[in-house]
Structure 1
Amino acid sequence: MVIRNSYLKRTILASSITAALAGITSVPAYSQSEMLEEVVVTGIRGSLDRAMDIKRDSAGVVDAISAEDIGKFPDANLAESLQRITGVSIDRQNGEGNQITVRGLGPNFNMVTLNGRQMPAASSPEQESISSGTQSRAFNFAQIASESVSGVEVYKTARADLPTGGMGATVNIKTARPFDYDGTKVIANVAAIHDTSVVEGDDVTPEFGGLFSTLLADGKVGLLANFSFSERHSSEYSTHTDGWTRDLRDDTDSPYAFWCGDASSECNDAPWVYRPVTNISEIQHNQRERLNAQFVAQFAPVDNVEITLDYVMSDFERSQQRWQTGFFGVPGPDSVTNTRLTQNFTLDSVTRSLSAVDSLAYINELKVENESVGFNVQWDLTDTLTLSFDAHSSSAESQPGGELNDRLYLIQGPVGQVVDLDYSGNGVSVEVDDSGSFRNSDVEGERLPNIDNFQDPDGFSPLGTYLRNIAIENNVDQYQLDIDWDFDGIQLNAGVSYTDYEVNTLATDTGFFFQGLAPCPSCAEFINEPRNLDAPSGFQSVTTWNIQGLVQSQFPTQDSDLLAGSPPDFFGANEESLAFYFNMNTDFEIAGLPARLSAGARYETTDVTGSAFETFPSYLLISSDTEGSAVNADGATPVFYEVESDYSVFLPAVDFQIEPMEDHVARFSYGQSIARPDLNGLRPTTNISDFRPGVATASSGNPDLKPYSSDNFDLAYEWYYNDSSYLSITYFYKQVDDYITTSTELDTLLSDQGTPLLDPRGRYVPVGPDGDAIAVQSEPGDPEAIFEVSRLLNAEEREVDGFELAVQHIFGESGFGMQANYTIVESDAEYDVDNFEFQAVLLGLSDSWNLVGFYENERFSTRIAANWRDEFLFADNQLRRTGEPVYFDEYLQIDLSASYDITDNFAVSFEVLNLTGEDQVQRGRYSDQFLYENNQEPRYTLGLRANF
């Protein structure tokens, strides 16, 4: 029986709840004959009811989202749904939610499980991306469709029976099971996605899927299968500066120096000058395909045994073509004029002469395959004793076929440009003067010949190539045995679990392969007219070109040639954990008031092995104003390192709740939790991150890192004042110990000869006698190269606290309802912009609020949702400047959805994401240090759903 949204549905639900409560107190309100066999509550209000029941009945602070109906989750993207939960914020990439932050703790601090099982994650980082650029433990929700999800539970307080790693929260994704339904169910969905941002590609793409579930053998066998496929094309215009470097004033002994170029007192008197490393405008075209499937078989051979076999898979593919127009490099003497600074000694505007404006083309391709095979058996030995065993083997693999995930091709435009840069607005304003530029010489004011157009294809020259492949495989094998015993009103749970977590990364990197600056008259046939940008700032046009055509005809080296001489870089980490845990729950009364106590503990020991090959470079090379590399000798032999360590943790957890009056719940929770170090932190080697004019950075891992540990306190008060309506307020406090911080030191690095690498930058000549740059490499007599080397260590303590306020209100039987929540987060781990040393900070720390309004009746439902997130620290390293922060500006997104039941079996739906076309903006240390802005557009989805 399916009861639609109506007064009758609400009456039956209230009666069922009353009957259940009466049964608990052994005073039946209804006889067995009066009970309904089955009530399936559908719609928005039914979804909110189920989520509210989970919140009310769970031990500790738990929030949830429930499907509105079978195969109908509130949002097409799980992350978009999770952001509606109090305290949960999301990161977005290409306009889609992908990772979550909970109570100010970023993606690496949150554990994601699928039906209680820890899930692996693998995603090759993009080259030259605004993302963090590291392989992490963070789960990417964009890879999972929501059609097969029946609910999501967010556990914000510690529990002994949950896998460790969720210091912020443990997010459990629940999928459909055939024994959840009676008889046969068939669901089919088809939709068309219209992305208004599309410039190249299809502006309407398909999305379809279905679910089939049936019971056989008198209900003793259940089979379920579902799948979904989604394709999306999108485009982005963006402007970025890639990083701000703090150059010392006229210090010729430093690789970071700034010459004011004129008599400007505000520049000459400054102790340093913050300048952007690059100034770039970009067009990016994306194509994304996602395939998800699930197969479940359940057996009940006897009444007290239930066996479940399941297989879950997903394939995620994203291809990007990106074109950039911009300039790079260090401004030298006599190359800048008209310098104006802000009060932070940040460039406000400047006139700068350049050798050229470059054009770059990227091809980024990401493929991720996820698989999970699981087995579960539950055996009710008696009415009060249950034994369960669960095992799964899961894997996530990126670039499984060894595909190249990054290609960069760079061509240089005509030389001799003068540009006026203005950073005083919301971004960067670029005006190009084609009259010629200052020559880098002692002759002040001497100019190169006039240039008619800085994007004139006749002046382009192929400059170089960069190719990269990063293949990542993450495997999780997990076994868990549980015993549940209901003993005289006390529920006891105990268990043991074993987890083998392994990740291996194999990277092949050519470095920047410099091809010289040979004239290329024939390049013009492959170069398109500059594309005008509907962009808020930066260059107002970007040079695009036929990538494959130009590469095949003008770049003499192909993929295999470059990769053949590049030894692979291997990194592996393995964690084997054995845990024992128990938990006790009991209901009792205090002064006649109902109360509940849940108490338990978890003891877990982990063996860690970090392994890697390290290839020591033979020399350093500077090939142009903007490019350099560390070069390995032909036939270089990598050195293998393996380091082992271990640690143990004891994690208690206590939850107490009391009902001071009817429909009021007060909670107190205390627990300890951990979050394991980022995977790259376990690497036992030192790697050069970047070497070019003005930049020399490296990073070193530490396999002896211990996990973050936290003492967590929660105080909550909840008032369930009406059907489907409640108010709640929660105060939370976390004291984080063993906080992992970065220590940065100036240091030398060894060559393959066991001696420090030498720095050739002092001999580099940007313009030689023939007008071409003179590339130089390390040779005897050069000074030792000094790198900024970042190393990780456990060294800090941090505190996080805040408030969560939530209200859910249903306006009687009018069909209208609303949800609102607000989260305030504070921490002593916030970034101090006036501190230039490395800091132990929390990424993602921000306040947030959500406001959702909806209306529904028996046939029609609609919902509008606003999600706001305050400014937050996204990364503590900029793309081209280690140690400089990346902030996202505050962001407000408004989404709209509606559905109409044409018949009892067919419904049509409509959805708009980012209704107002909100853009994302990034800034650096200060608000006047612009980093990034993209141009996002609304996305529309029209769908048809069949339900039998």
Structure 2
Amino acid sequence: MKTSASFNRKLLSTIIAASVATTAFAQGDQVEEVVVTGIKASLTNSVSVKRDSGSVVDAISAEDIGKLPDTTIADSLQRVPGIQIRRNAGEGSTVNVRGMPQVSTLLNGEQFLSAGSITTAQPDFTDIPAELLSRVDVVKSAQASTLAAGVAGTIDLKTRRPFDLDDGWTFAGAAEGSQGKYTDDDIGHKISGFAGFNNGDNFGALLSVSNSKATLANFRYGMYSDWWFRGYNENGDWPGQGTASDLTGDGDTNDQVFGTIDYGVTNRTAERERTGISGTAQFQVNDSVELVADVFYTKMDQGDYVNGLIADNSWAQYDWVNPDLNTLVNRGKAVGGNGKDFYTSSVTNLEALRVIAKSETQMDDRESLNFNLQANIDFTDNFSGKVRYAHGNATNDHTSSFADALITSGMQSGLQTSYGGVKAPVNPGGYGPNGERVPVVADFSGEHPSIQYPQGFGQDIDSYGLVSAFSHQNRDEESTLDVFRFDGTYQFDDGVKVDFGYRFGDREIERNQYDLIAPFTVKDASGNNVTVYSKWKDSGIPGVSGGDTIAKTFTFSELQDSGYIHQVSDFGPASDGNSYYFINPKAMKNAFAFHEALYPGNVKQKDGAQSYTVEDQTQTFYFQGSFEGEAGLPYQANFGMQYIETSLDITQFIPSVDTTKVTVNGTVYPALDGVAPTIASSDVVERTFNDFLPRFNIAFDTTDDTKLRLAYSKTMTQLDANDLGLGRTYTTNNNPELGVFQVVSASQNGNPNMEPWRADNYDLSYEWYFSDSGMVSLGAFRVDVETSIATTTVQIPTVADSDGVNRRPGETIDLTTRDNTDGGVVKGLELGYQQAFDFLPGAWSGLGTTINYTFTDGTGGEKDFYGKTMPMADNSENQINAVVWYEYEQWQARVAYNYRSERFIGRAWNDGSPAAWWQAPTTYVDASVSYDINDNLTVYLQGTNITEEYEETYMQWEDVVVNQNVYEARYTLGVRAKF
């Protein structure tokens, strides 16, 4: 059994020092029924929310102040039936509800901006400190008064309110240190504090603050570049292959062998620092008017650092894959494929043309500020209302930098430098100066893939040379949100209640993407100096046809004293015992400074096709009646209608077709392949559409302790700004006879004329509440997706060649674009059970459990290798959650189990042999234990992913492993205080 890293004295002393320095504060939740003080109380709170709700709702309540039951909000949400999550560096980040990601997120009932996902309504939960929240509601059947509902569900994040506190001051706080198995030299910390005041009469205020920092391991093994999978043809029709070869040993050359472009192992770490502040003030002006002000601030700085040893075919030659015949399996012929037998092997002998010491740095600076000003007014005894103004601003600045150093010479694929007509290998000190390929074994037969190199390979620093570097897909994103709304309630004397309201929302998104391009002055074939701009700073790229190559190769020996070079031997469980040299990715944290130091003159070249501005204005009216009565059984019901008018103003940028030139500071220069073309013009689309969304919910009290719920709601979700705004790029081929570049195809990742996702949702559930904290529930759901969005291919007229002349009028080219398609049906079952075994004697009475199971079935439109229709992408049919908890006297303990069945990623073409790409089932286990030293002080120990689960993908067949993401077990020791 795998063991976790143990705590050391440094970690313990850090925690003790932090706890002594920490003072914090506490308050209650806005829920009136229960004051949350422990595991059982939090479950009681959640049961109360579900039972009293007017629709199908599940809730997670904090066990105590600043303490949701898991590391992140998404980790907590995965315990809810129907919720599936995706992870980033091992932490929960995004969620699906009932198999769909079209989910909206609210803050205290209103839309808010998260910096983790500027373009969408659903945030990336990694940048939201869970300590700021008291409860999270998952609304699965919307009411008419539920605004901005997602197609599959709505997640409502709840913060605390000071009037729910005890009179006087309340203080609470926590300090903890964390450590991972593979990052045991980096002690993470989290410090949170809370202060709340309630004068018991007419004023209250509170403030929550949280700061945390952690280093998270995320190793990656196997096939490195996703989607570049290949079916290597024996008949030699690959470019650069040329001759037929019987790779399978069956006596013919008519087969295909599964492989990919590159294989590798990587050391990946993420450094995250989160800061969160939440504040609220309440003032009871008089018996009729209450004023509320909320502030919610988040900031996250994240660096993702990668060093990897990657063997590839130089993206040029395709005769490098030789399967091990002892592990070869014939999978037959793909239905609808090219008719060739398709073979796979768990061990592949590679004749690598390149081996790269790859370095990659991704930096994100995310910041968001949301505030809410609200007046709650009782106009009469029967008529009340709320007036709210909400404002949000969020930014996400993302930069990236890549540095590829060769350990091979480059001669294997003809990579040469040329200066003054003198040619040389791009990396003269590298392996194979005469073009010898590197014998590499890619072994996928064990628990983890391993990539095996010749003895002594990569151990000499003189064999390394930095050949290529680039910085692209950098982006600055900003969004603002302004909301004004009025919500009214009229209570009739007979118990009937009418809710109505109006909301105006204005969301603006601006996205600017850019690459760093640098000038290089080289000699052309005639010996004349020419200045060209290039994104790829690669010493093997000619600046002008027949002339010198650009850039230069920097040997690691000459870079060693600059601090750019470091050694890495830790590749997690796939480490081979050797240490290799890399550009230190932390030296590239400032991408511009790094590239400017080696390749002076960099400028930001805007990528018009990936930049846009979008303004999204909505006006919403709703009317809802709530009533109760007898219809054979007591019932509570609500019925209403929501009307939404959406106005869009979308600006896209149209790049020039001429990719051979770029304008820098008003001067036109030759541009090499990869440079984003100069923006030629812009296009503005203005459009409006309307939605009528009826919603109906009814709950029958079949007994005093049981409910039968029926619900119908029509839903839509706000369009992703990327789907609207991303522009068009053209693929061109050089026509040497005409001396021009001609467009042969186009792609467009945004379509300003699309309609949003829309669906009809049906729910049926039966709930038995047999105690304050005990419940059994069984639910069935169906989501009929009326309108969805997918990638399609259409025909468009040809466009002008690079010289402005259209030489093919009347002809068409392919445009791959995003567009509306017919939807499908998602249906399933949700079964839940939770109970406190407080009827047991003595210490056994502290036991309790929560168990739920979800089945989700959604059919997609893609076929696998055998012609079988695949399920909806990103959905797992089966999910199981089981939590066993213990709470007795001063002790609390909890073990949580989460199982998710296989997840369909998509269909890979594999050169005429389509196959289904899957993620294998995963099982995560987390645990925690705490001890109350006294009424004010608690110490706790938590472990996440204690079984060291990793995520593995495979191609069609479970034994055909593609790659793995290996996360670490992490342990946290902390202290919590409350006064």
Task: Specify the SS of the correspondent of 1:630.
Answer: coil
Structure 2: gaps of 5 or more residues: 1-30, 333-341, 410-435, 517-534, 541-551, 662-671, 735-743, 840-844
* 1:383-422 equivalent positions in 2, closer than 5 A: 383-399=381-397, 405-415=399-409, 416=436, 417-422=438-443
**1:743 match:** 792
Change (3 A) 1:909 1:869: same
Residue in structure 1 matching 2:825, options 782, 786, 799: 799
Change (3 A) 1:38 1:362: closer
Task: Specify the SS of the correspondent of 1:52.
Answer: helix
Distance in 1 (alpha carbons) for counterparts of 2:814 and 2:959: 25
**2:625 match:** 584
Distance in 2 (alpha carbons) for counterparts of 1:515 and 1:135: 37
Displacement of 1:481: 0.5
**What value does the CA root-mean-square deviation take over the aligned residues?**
3.7
**2:26 match:** none
Change (3 A) 1:90 1:882: farther
Displacement of 1:852: 0.5
Letter of the aligned partner of 1:603 in structure 2?
A: Y
Change (3 A) 1:538 1:261: farther
Displacement of 1:421: 3.2
Distance in 1 (alpha carbons) for counterparts of 2:912 and 2:895: 40
Find out whether 1:249 has 2:244 as its counterpart: no
* 1:299-698 equivalent positions in 2, closer than 5 A: 299-328=283-312, 329-330=314-315, 332=317, 335-337=320-322, 340=328, 342-343=330-331, 345-348=342-345, 349-399=347-397, 405-415=399-409, 416=436, 417-424=438-445, 428-433=449-454, 453-454=457-458, 456-468=460-472, 469-487=474-492, 488-510=494-516, 511-516=535-540, 518=553, 520=555, 522-523=557-558, 525=560, 527-529=565-567, 531-536=569-574, 542-546=580-584, 558=598, 561-564=601-604, 570-591=611-632, 593-616=633-656, 618-619=658-659, 629-632=673-676, 636-683=678-725, 685-687=727-729, 698=747
Distance in 1 (alpha carbons) for counterparts of 2:113 and 2:912: 30
Change (3 A) 1:549 1:479: closer
Q: Is the Cα–Cα contact under 8 Å of residues 655 and 669 in structure 1 kept in the other structure?
A: yes
Displacement of 1:320: 2.3
Q: Is the Cα–Cα contact under 8 Å of residues 455 and 530 in structure 1 kept in the other structure?
A: no
Displacement of 1:715: 0.7
Displacement of 1:378: 0.5
Residue in structure 2 matching 1:897, options 914, 918, 928: 928
Aligned pairs, number: 842
Distance in 1 (alpha carbons) for counterparts of 2:694 and 2:576: 54
Q: Is the Cα–Cα contact under 8 Å of residues 641 and 684 in structure 1 kept in the other structure?
A: no
Distance in 2 (alpha carbons) for counterparts of 1:929 and 1:425: 12
**2:968 match:** 937
Letter of the aligned partner of 1:230 in structure 2?
A: S
Displacement of 1:811: 1.1
* 1:827-846 equivalent positions in 2, closer than 5 A: 827-829=858-860, 831-834=862-865, 841-846=872-877
Displacement of 1:913: 0.7
Distance in 1 (alpha carbons) for counterparts of 2:107 and 2:366: 17
Find out whether 1:74 has 2:74 as its counterpart: no
Find out whether 1:230 has 2:212 as its counterpart: yes
Residue in structure 2 matching 1:113, options 106, 109, 112: 106
1:183-213: CA deviation from partner (whole Å, max 9, x where unpaired):
22111211111222216xx432221111111
1:657-714: CA deviation from partner (whole Å, max 9, x where unpaired):
111222111111111101233322112621369999xx99844421111011111111
- When normalised by structure 1's length, the TM-score is 0.81
**1:187 match:** 172
Q: Is the Cα–Cα contact under 8 Å of residues 249 and 271 in structure 1 kept in the other structure?
A: yes
Find out whether 1:848 has 2:879 as its counterpart: yes
**1:704 match:** 753
- When normalised by structure 2's length, the TM-score is 0.79
Displacement of 1:534: 3.0
Q: Is the Cα–Cα contact under 8 Å of residues 860 and 869 in structure 2 kept in the other structure?
A: no
Displacement of 1:158: 2.1
* 1:758-907 equivalent positions in 2, closer than 5 A: 789-813=815-839, 814-829=845-860, 831-834=862-865, 841-874=872-905, 887-907=918-938
Distance in 1 (alpha carbons) for counterparts of 2:489 and 2:820: 38
Distance in 1 (alpha carbons) for counterparts of 2:129 and 2:565: 39
Letter of the aligned partner of 2:539 in structure 1?
A: Q
Q: Is the Cα–Cα contact under 8 Å of residues 740 and 840 in structure 1 kept in the other structure?
A: no
**1:923 match:** 954
Q: Is the Cα–Cα contact under 8 Å of residues 651 and 684 in structure 2 kept in the other structure?
A: yes
Q: Is the Cα–Cα contact under 8 Å of residues 267 and 341 in structure 1 kept in the other structure?
A: no
Letter of the aligned partner of 1:585 in structure 2?
A: S
Change (3 A) 1:811 1:559: farther
Task: Specify the SS of the correspondent of 1:828.
Answer: strand
Task: Specify the SS of the correspondent of 1:601.
Answer: strand
**1:912 match:** 943
**1:779 match:** none
Q: What percent identity do the matched residue pairs reach?
A: 25
Change (3 A) 1:137 1:697: farther
Task: Specify the SS of the correspondent of 2:722.
Answer: helix
Letter of the aligned partner of 1:185 in structure 2?
A: T
Distance in 1 (alpha carbons) for counterparts of 2:79 and 2:236: 53
* 1:126-145 equivalent positions in 2, closer than 5 A: 136-145=120-129
Displacement of 1:499: 1.2
Q: Is the Cα–Cα contact under 8 Å of residues 894 and 927 in structure 2 kept in the other structure?
A: yes
Change (3 A) 1:237 1:798: same
Distance in 2 (alpha carbons) for counterparts of 1:245 and 1:373: 47
Change (3 A) 1:827 1:564: closer
Q: Is the Cα–Cα contact under 8 Å of residues 325 and 539 in structure 1 kept in the other structure?
A: no
Displacement of 1:113: 0.5
Task: Specify the SS of the correspondent of 2:602.
Answer: helix
Of 524-533 and 49-58, more deviation after overlay is shown by 524-533
Distance in 1 (alpha carbons) for counterparts of 2:234 and 2:886: 65
1:328-370: CA deviation from partner (whole Å, max 9, x where unpaired):
3346365444575641625424433233211111121111001
Change (3 A) 1:920 1:543: farther
Distance in 2 (alpha carbons) for counterparts of 1:746 and 1:351: 42
Find out whether 1:720 has 2:769 as its counterpart: yes
Letter of the aligned partner of 1:432 in structure 2?
A: Y
Displacement of 1:172: 0.6
Q: Is the Cα–Cα contact under 8 Å of residues 618 and 631 in structure 1 kept in the other structure?
A: no
Task: Specify the SS of the correspondent of 2:947.
Answer: coil
Distance in 2 (alpha carbons) for counterparts of 1:509 and 1:277: 25
Task: Specify the SS of the correspondent of 2:557.
Answer: helix
Q: Is the Cα–Cα contact under 8 Å of residues 523 and 554 in structure 1 kept in the other structure?
A: no
Structure 1: gaps of 5 or more residues: 1-19, 21-36, 125-133, 435-451, 622-627, 759-785
Letter of the aligned partner of 1:121 in structure 2?
A: S
Q: Is the Cα–Cα contact under 8 Å of residues 403 and 469 in structure 2 kept in the other structure?
A: yes
**1:730 match:** 779
Of 607-616 and 529-538, more deviation after overlay is shown by 529-538
Distance in 2 (alpha carbons) for counterparts of 1:742 and 1:670: 30
Displacement of 1:731: 0.5
Q: Is the Cα–Cα contact under 8 Å of residues 76 and 145 in structure 1 kept in the other structure?
A: no
Task: Specify the SS of the correspondent of 2:99.
Answer: coil
Residue in structure 1 matching 2:278, options 294, 305, 309: 294
**2:425 match:** none
Q: Is the Cα–Cα contact under 8 Å of residues 259 and 336 in structure 1 kept in the other structure?
A: no
Q: Is the Cα–Cα contact under 8 Å of residues 220 and 964 in structure 2 kept in the other structure?
A: yes
Distance in 2 (alpha carbons) for counterparts of 1:228 and 1:682: 36
